Copies of this chain bind each other. A is one copy, B any other.
Amino acid sequence: MRRPRPRPSLGILGGMGPSATADFYRRFVERTPAGSDQAHLPVVMWADTAVPDRTEALLGQGPSPLPALVEGARWLQRAGVSCIAVPCNTAHAYVEQLSKATGTEVLDMIGAALEAAARRTPGLERVGVLATRGTRLTGLYERAGVRLGLDVVQVTDGVQERYVDAAIRAVKGGADPAAPERWIATAAESLKEQGAQAAIAACTEIPLISGAAARVLPLVDSTDALAEAAVARLWQPAQVVRARGRRG
């Protein structure tokens, strides 16, 4: 079914949402230190936009996205990928199950984002997270923070609903980015008031509207952190990024 692949290749399990997937793929290409087309890393992508909404599933308001994620991961496996990147923070609630069900290495976007924040802000102790309600609910960032010795803070329920949820919804709906960008900056202000020294744009839609927030606090883009981790994993095979599934 396939010829042997001489080089490591990346599988992208995307479409959650498609703009964020396109942003991730661009960053992965930009971060790859290749000098010609042929030197770049092969990529295959499955962007099934019909994957059920992750936050709705986590809130018990909709079907699980897991079957669609497993189908996509199996298809990427058959294409011979070395590992899979899932450029959606909320979908990471399912990554451990996905990795176990398929035996595939899935890169850990949550750990990559927190590690990038620690590297970029020396002495970092408290980091704020701008995420979907689904990601907040799962405690993914809090648990990874414990492992890395970081105190993770979230916005209040009011700020979440009024500014963060509204901004993510607006980006996914293709709205004008001016208002969502202000809302995300307001949410970053509230994290700063709670003592956060840095923040993570922990939903792949947020980096698309985080220009103003980055002037409030040092802001790590989770999409870019995942791209960096993917290049590190594949460009230098000796450098092993631990897969979430293997850790869990």
Contacts and interface: CB of A to CB of B under 8 A. Distances in A.
A1 B146 CA distance: 41
Contacts of A137: none
Interface stretch (A44-52, A103-111, A116-124, A212-220): A44-52
B41 A49 contact: yes
A159 interface: no
A132 to B, nearest CB: 12
Given A29-B22, A42-B15, A44-B45, A35 B173 contact: yes
Contact of A18 (B12, B21, B43, B173): B43
A75 interface: yes
Interface in A162-189: 172-174
- This chain's copy number in the assembly: 2
Interface in A24-65: 25-26, 29-30, 32-53
Nearest to A34: B174
A89 B141 CA distance: 44
A43 B16 CA distance: 12
Q: What band does the interface of chain A fall in when counting residues whose beta carbon is under 8 Å from B?
A: 35 or more
B49 A39 contact: yes
A194 interface: no
Nearest to A46: B44
A71 interface: yes
A14 B7 CA distance: 17
B43 A15 contact: yes
A97 interface: no
Nearest to A39: B49
Contacts of A3: 71
Given A42-B49, A42-B50, A47-B42, A29 B37 contact: no
Contacts of A79: 46, 75
A248 interface: no
